[in-house]
Chain A
Amino acid sequence: MSPDAGGAPASAEHDLEVRAAWLYHVERLTQAELARALRVSRARVVRLLAGARDHGVVEVGVDERAGQRIALSRALVRRFGLRQAIVVNGGVRDDATAHAVGIAAGRYLAGRLRDGLIIGVGWGATLNHALAPLAGARAARLSVISLLGGMTHSRAVNPAAVARRMADLLHADCYQVAAPLLVARASLRAALWAEPALADLRRRARRAHIALVSVGDASDDATLFREGLLSRAELDSLRAGGAVGDVLCQFLDARGTLLDHPVNRRAVTIGLPDLRAVGELVVASGGPRKIGALRAALAALPVGMLVTDVCAAQGLLSA
């Protein structure tokens, strides 16, 4: 235990690890400052800190459930060929899950902002929650494009409102699909898309650097049904046709195939082929109801980033 020059080198090394641990973890020195304070090289500092951790000098605890979420996100990336996935703790209720997933998606988008970015955006409760983290985010010459038509009357989350509010928060130009979300006939939809203003919007949407969308399910709780955009008969016939959910009002079956159904032909939205053209596709949805729709969307689209919750992640990985 003698501290003199004849002392065991192992003990001297241990003392140095302890000293480095206090300076780094409590006095909050950077690694460069630590190298100067201890008069050792930067590489030696890295080894000392790693040694302190390996030898139990320092114990670092991170929220123990974080490990599970990170394992799920890695498994999602592998299974679905994503570039990245974020898995958050969902809530007991769907609205709490939408809140948690939406905020994570908004934070991700805030981190991706750069000057001149073109952002395409869908709608729904989750994306509505994605707006809050964008307050205060700054970049120049941003554009926000709504990827689907509007509603003349809305009780909750008007699709157009998500794009409009996002553009306001980001001081961005806002481009809206100036047409109803659902029109009476497919021929009318084709005529609308032929209008120069809408054709221009559609070209713009295909050039989006990033698109943020959520998925809808085909249950009686689906927003499209509750908002009265789909009738009971339409919902039943979609389900009978094998629909498990939708992306931008385009209903998919369990394998991610676009259903041959009148509703899909009447929806004035940026279609799935257009969506495949955008630079980065971000899908944000969570909760048990969305698992089937998420699986279909992942099969149908080249999703880069998936933002979801633990429950949906486990569901996606279990099959």
Chain B
Amino acid sequence: MRADPATAMVPDEAVVHAAWLYHVEGWTQARIAAELRTTRARVIAWLARARDEGVVTVRIRGRGDAQARLGHALCNRFGLAEAVVVPAPLHAAHTAALVGHAAATWLTDRVHDGVALGVGWGETLHLCVKAIGAHAVPGASVVSLLGATTLSRTVTPPAVARRMADAFGAECYQLTAPLVVADARMRDTLWAERGLRALRARARKIDVALVSVGSLREDATLFRGGLLAPGARRSLVAAGAVGDVLCRFVDAHGNAVDHPVNRRMMAVDVGDLARVPCIAIASGGQAKVPALRAGLRALRARVLITDEAAAKGLLHEP
């Protein structure tokens, strides 16, 4: 049924109809099956497709008492304008889905006509884009703050920026250079290119930046994908790094560590974002706590979107 691209572009009215009856009119699945003269199993499949294909968008606006109190405490401790804390997931592997979902709600509430948005990468932002659905914002633009990888996956920077731009119907500006280059000379040569200089100038003028932070665990995206050698991870830890912010490895105070890897990354510099009025970090999970603490300092972020485990870790004295 998916073979014909012309067919795939036409939304399935049965899926829309079922989603409407279920989510807007509050019908039961059994009643929808009777109305549309089909089986309950097919209705369930349609409802799942409605979610996957962005026919239905869900925004969770309620805050539990515990999460609200954690949010207040984070604002006070880190001088944030806003902290969104999602509840602990049933499965730890779903942390990125919850944080990404909350980031989607936060972002769609704040984007306005003509907004210029800078984005990072990773699982959380990938799932954030999925949760946005279709949300047209006239005149919007999306800037990728990070270079590209030759192996493109859903979480890599160009893919996140591209799909974010698609969700908002926005212009997309890519940092068209490898994320990791051989050395500092290559990096500087590339940044001297006119197109890349223009991209960097554009990044300095964005209205909102949404990024995540990376831990130094073996399963962190930079290491899992083989972009950096396992040996680099050990020597970064030895140099005092606790994680990365926009692919810059930082110590617990948020300062860049003195390490060759930090001179080989094609990424918009943290300093370039000094004048950006709203920087939001979206990351969760216990393992990200040191990187989050460092990231909040390095970026002077105004907004944090995280989960209960990371919130408690951040509020616990280091």
- A residues sitting closer than 8 Å to B (CB atoms) are 1, 3, 7, 11, 14-15, 17-19, 21-23, 25-29, 37, 50, 52-53, 55-63, 66-67, 69-70, 73, 83-84, 86-88, 99-100, 103-104, 106-108, 110-111, 132-133, 135-137
Stretch touching chain A among B20-28, B228-236, B247-255, B282-290: B20-28
Question: Can you list 13 contacts pairing A with B, beta carbon distance less than 8 Å?
Answer: A22-B98, A25-B60, A26-B131, A27-B90, A66-B16, A66-B17, A66-B20, A67-B20, A73-B17, A84-B36, A99-B6, A103-B10, A133-B7
Q: How many Å from the CB of A105 to the closest CB on chain B?
A: 10
> B227 interface residue, CB < 8 Å from A?
no
Hey, what's the 0/1 contact readout for B99-121 against A, CB within 8 Å counting as 1?
Answer: 00100000000000000000000
Q: In the bound complex, do residue A29 and residue B63 qualify as a contact, i.e. CB atoms below 8 Å apart?
A: no
Q: Which B residues from 43 to 91 make CB contacts under 8 A with A?
A: 50-51, 55-67, 69, 86-87, 89-91
Q: In the bound complex, do residue A18 and residue B63 qualify as a contact, i.e. CB atoms below 8 Å apart?
A: yes
- Known A11-B65, A58-B61, A84-B37; 9 more pairs at CB < 8 Å: A26-B58, A26-B94, A27-B89, A28-B51, A66-B16, A66-B55, A86-B14, A132-B4, A135-B3
Q: In the bound complex, do residue B19 and residue A62 qualify as a contact, i.e. CB atoms below 8 Å apart?
A: yes
Which residue of B11, B21, B60 is within 8 Å of A21 (Cβ)?
Answer: B60
Contact A70 to B17, CB < 8 A, known contacts A58-B58, A60-B23, A135-B3: yes
Q: Which residues of A contact B13 (CB under 8 A)?
A: 69, 86-88, 104, 107
Q: In the bound complex, do residue A59 and residue B42 qualify as a contact, i.e. CB atoms below 8 Å apart?
A: no
Q: Is the interface of A mostly helix, strand, loop or mixed?
A: helix
Q: In the bound complex, do residue B65 and residue A100 qualify as a contact, i.e. CB atoms below 8 Å apart?
A: no
Q: In the bound complex, do residue A108 and residue B61 qualify as a contact, i.e. CB atoms below 8 Å apart?
A: no
Q: Which residues of B contact A137 (CB under 8 A)?
A: 1
- B residues sitting closer than 8 Å to A (CB atoms) are 1, 3-4, 6-7, 10-14, 16-17, 19-21, 23-24, 26, 36-38, 42, 50-51, 55-67, 69, 86-87, 89-91, 94, 97-98, 101, 131, 133
| Whole-angstrom CA separation of A238 from B260 in the bound complex | 85
Q: Which residues of B contact A133 (CB under 8 A)?
A: 1, 4, 7
| Whole-angstrom CA separation of A62 from B59 in the bound complex | 12
Q: How many Å from the CB of A91 to the closest CB on chain B?
A: 10
Q: How many Å from the CB of A298 to the closest CB on chain B?
A: 19
Q: Which residues of B contact A37 (CB under 8 A)?
A: 90
| Whole-angstrom CA separation of A19 from B97 in the bound complex | 14
Q: Which residue of B lies closest to A37 (CB)?
A: B90
| Whole-angstrom CA separation of A69 from B17 in the bound complex | 9
| Whole-angstrom CA separation of A136 from B6 in the bound complex | 15
Contact A107 to B98, CB < 8 A, known contacts A14-B62, A27-B89, A57-B60: no
Q: In the bound complex, do residue B17 and residue A59 qualify as a contact, i.e. CB atoms below 8 Å apart?
A: no
Q: How many Å from the CB of B71 to the closest CB on chain A?
A: 13
| Whole-angstrom CA separation of A66 from B13 in the bound complex | 9
Q: Which residues of A contact B55 (CB under 8 A)?
A: 62-63, 66
Q: Which residue of B lies closest to A67 (CB)?
A: B20
Q: In the bound complex, do residue A57 and residue B69 qualify as a contact, i.e. CB atoms below 8 Å apart?
A: no
Q: Which residue of A lies closest to B23 (CB)?
A: A60
| Whole-angstrom CA separation of A41 from B67 in the bound complex | 25
Q: Which residues of A contact B66 (CB under 8 A)?
A: 3, 15
Q: Which residues of B contact A23 (CB under 8 A)?
A: 90
Q: In the bound complex, do residue B86 and residue A22 qualify as a contact, i.e. CB atoms below 8 Å apart?
A: yes
Contact A56 to B62, CB < 8 A, known contacts A27-B94, A62-B19: yes
Residue of B13, B37, B66 most packed against chain A (CB within 10 A): B13
Contact A60 to B58, CB < 8 A, known contacts A66-B19, A99-B10: yes
The 10 closest A-B pairs by CB, nearest first: A57-B62, A60-B23, A15-B64, A132-B4, A18-B64, A59-B59, A61-B57, A18-B62, A25-B58, A132-B7
Q: How many Å from the CB of B169 to the closest CB on chain A?
A: 15
Q: Which residue of B lies closest to A87 (CB)?
A: B13
Q: How many Å from the CB of A251 to the closest CB on chain B?
A: 30
